[in-house]
Amino acid sequence: MSQQPVHLSALDAYRFARESGSLAGCLELSDLPRLADVLASPAGNVSYQLSGYMGEREQARLRLRVTGTLQLLCQRCLGAVAESIAIDSRLELVPADSAPTQEELEDDSLDVLPVTGALDVLGLVEDEILLALPTVPRHVTCDLPVTDGADTLPHPFAALVALKRRE
């Protein structure tokens, strides 16, 4: 696991937006631990670009773009299936304890990101990737794994029944 710069784990997001900050780089998939469950292989990386800007009424906002190709686990054959992602999210920063306004709820082009204190950029990239992935990844066409002999195995309870009979 590579050492990430400190600003990726603790970014002053409001200041970043005010100052029109921008960050870009490459993240190893192995540095995003919550993706491990859905990946067939932790090899590879994603590129991200984060920029800060202010809305029309001085709302602090972020734009996050993430691109890359992930090897997901096909839910049918359990082989690797390549999934390309191209995320482009706009997020409005709100204090973590405030309820979103009606306007924010109605604006589909914008997500609300509750932030109090420092923002974990790595965690945000991870969240956005998880949201963008298919819930049931699978090849367009593939065969089920070969289950030679599986059908002829005795039912797990059969052994129990046999034990009972012996009593």
Residues that bind Zn ion (CB under 5 A): 74, 76-77, 79, 139, 142
Least Å distance, CB 71 to Zn ion, is 12
User: What's the rounded Cα separation, in Å, for the pair 144 and 156?
Assistant: 22
127: which residues sit within 8 A by CB, 6+ positions away? none
Least Å distance, CB 140 to Zn ion, is 9
In this structure, the dihedral spanned by the alpha carbons of residues 68, 47, 96 and 10, taken in order and rounded to 10 degrees, is: 140
User: What's the rounded Cα separation, in Å, for the pair 96 and 112?
Assistant: 10
Cα-based distances in Å from 39 to 62, 85, 141, 153: 27, 14, 19, 30
Cβ nearer to Zn ion, comparing 90 with 139: 139
Least Å distance, CB 148 to Zn ion, is 18
Cβ nearer to Zn ion, comparing 55 with 145: 145
Cβ nearer to Zn ion, comparing 86 with 144: 144
Least Å distance, CB 142 to Zn ion, is 3
- 3-state SS of the chain: helix, strand, coil percent to 5? 30, 30, 40
Least Å distance, CB 77 to Zn ion, is 3
| C-beta separation of 14 from 127 below 8 A | no
Cβ nearer to Zn ion, comparing 41 with 101: 41
42: which residues sit within 8 A by CB, 6+ positions away? 29, 30, 35, 36
Cβ nearer to Zn ion, comparing 79 with 114: 79
